Amino acid sequence: MIPQDLQALQWRDGKLILLDQRKLPRKIEFYSCVKMEDCIYAIKSMIVRGAPLIGFTAIFGLALWLKEYPSANLDELKNAGQKLVDARPTAVNLYYEVERTLAFIQTDPSCANLWEKVVSFAFTQIELLKNNNTKMAFAAEKKLEEFGSGPYRLMTLCNTGYLACGTLGTALGVITHLAKKNKIAHVYASETRPYLQGARLTAFELKVLNIPHSVVVDGAASYLMREKLVDAIFIGADRIVANGDTANKIGSAGLAAIAKHYGIPFYVVAPLSSFDFNLTSGEQIPVELRSPQEILSWNGHQISADGVNALNPSFDITEAALISGIFCEAGFFSPVTTQSLNRIKQGA
């Protein structure tokens, strides 16, 4: 059970309250958003992170904007939505939730206190994600049973739990679900450079939930698999395109390639809001380049020599051929191909 003081997203007294994930796990601090611009800053600076939670933050951002500008026209509203979408370019959930909210608003644009209806809409989407993620967790459990009854030794990258989703997570949601059924022997949380979402956040969630785990450096993946310490790998996704190529936190593609070499199942767990059928291959996915200082310094302290340069891509693209299967609320898809995922597109 998630303690109340660790809720990643809260709405109180007409404000969006976000758990500042930059400060975890050493400090528990919150950031209040009273205007849409505060939400944009929270997204850009990674106060809030995780594709689903970024999308939900955008919905609340539009609510705050409507509260401030209740007489705005549709074009002005769309411009506000675009500012939110531009905050981070890779995760498609941000665009998806903004577009869905704009469509919802247009069903009754002249309604009194429209911003309150948007707040209600946001909570409906969070509950929907919880239900869908639960479906994925059950499907993943059923798939793992093909390899034995457990308990399982699993590996994950980045953070895909309640801190990333605001509710039951995706890949980490699978692990949480299995732990409740005593089907987890051990979890290896890759530290996830450069922002250490695995070491800081995933390990924090696992500790809070009393799930046995170890943090490992990103470069330890080959050792773990060669020593037969991992039964399967679960990651989330920031964008999945029509052929199954998947954008996720940097290090995902290398992890998938190593898993392929050692014959370890490598699974992606993501809601339909992470699919982008407008793009046909991973080559078309924009990859966010973040500040070199995230690599060259830590917690305000320079760790490299003066004048050193760094390249800091926040994501990489895992080719579909390296993915054993994708879990979403529409089912389990394997092999991951344009043809298999087309069934999702047709049902969307």
Q: What's residue 111's pLDDT?
A: 79
Q: What is the pLDDT of residue 3?
A: 62
- The Cα-based distances of 272 to 178, 203, 275, 305 in angstroms read 22, 26, 5, 44
Model confidence pLDDT, tens digit, residues 62-80: 999 999 999 888 899 999 9
d(CA 98, CA 315): 22
Mean pLDDT of the chain: 94
Confidence of residue 235 (pLDDT cuts 50, 70, 90): very high
Return the H-helix or E-strand segment holding 56.
helix 51-68
- Domain residue extents for the chain: 4-127, 132-347
Confidence of residue 33 (pLDDT cuts 50, 70, 90): very high
Spatial separation of the C-alpha atoms in residues 196 and 218, rounded to whole Å: 10
The answer to whether residue 186 scores a pLDDT higher than 90 is: yes
pTM (two decimals): 0.91
> What mean pLDDT is predicted for residues 89-105?
89
Q: How confident is the model at residue 311, as a pLDDT? A: 97
Residue 199 has pLDDT above 90, yes or no: yes
Residue 2 predicted with pLDDT over 70: no
Among the residue ranges 108-112, 257-261, 307-311, the one predicted with the least confidence is 108-112
- What's the confidence (pLDDT) of residue 6? 77
- Answer whether residue 1 shows pLDDT above 60: no
Going by pLDDT thresholds of 50, 70 and 90, the confidence category of residue 348 is low
Going by CATH, does the domain composed of 4-127 fall within 1.20.120.420? yes
Give residue-wise pLDDT tens across range 277-308.
999 999 999 999 999 999 999 878 999 999 99
Q: What's the whole-number mean pLDDT along residues 312-324?
A: 97
Which is more confident, 108 or 193? Answer: 193
Active site residues: 238
Query: How sure is the predictor about 7, in pLDDT bands with cuts at 50, 70 and 90?
Result: confident
CA distances from 273 to 54, 253, 269, 305 (A): 12, 21, 12, 42
Going by pLDDT thresholds of 50, 70 and 90, the confidence category of residue 92 is confident
User: In the predicted model, what is the mean pLDDT of residues 5-13?
Assistant: 88
pLDDT tens, position by position, 248-279: 999 999 999 999 999 999 999 999 989 999 99
User: Is residue 67 within 8 Å of residue 44, measured between CB atoms?
Assistant: no
* Whether domain 132-347 has CATH 1.10.3720.10: no
pLDDT tens-place string over residues 132-176? 999 999 999 999 999 999 899 999 999 999 999 989 999 999 999
Q: Is 194 left (phi over 0), alpha (psi -120 to 50) or beta?
A: alpha
Residue 201 is given by DSSP the state I
DSSP H or E stretch at residue 136 = helix 114-144
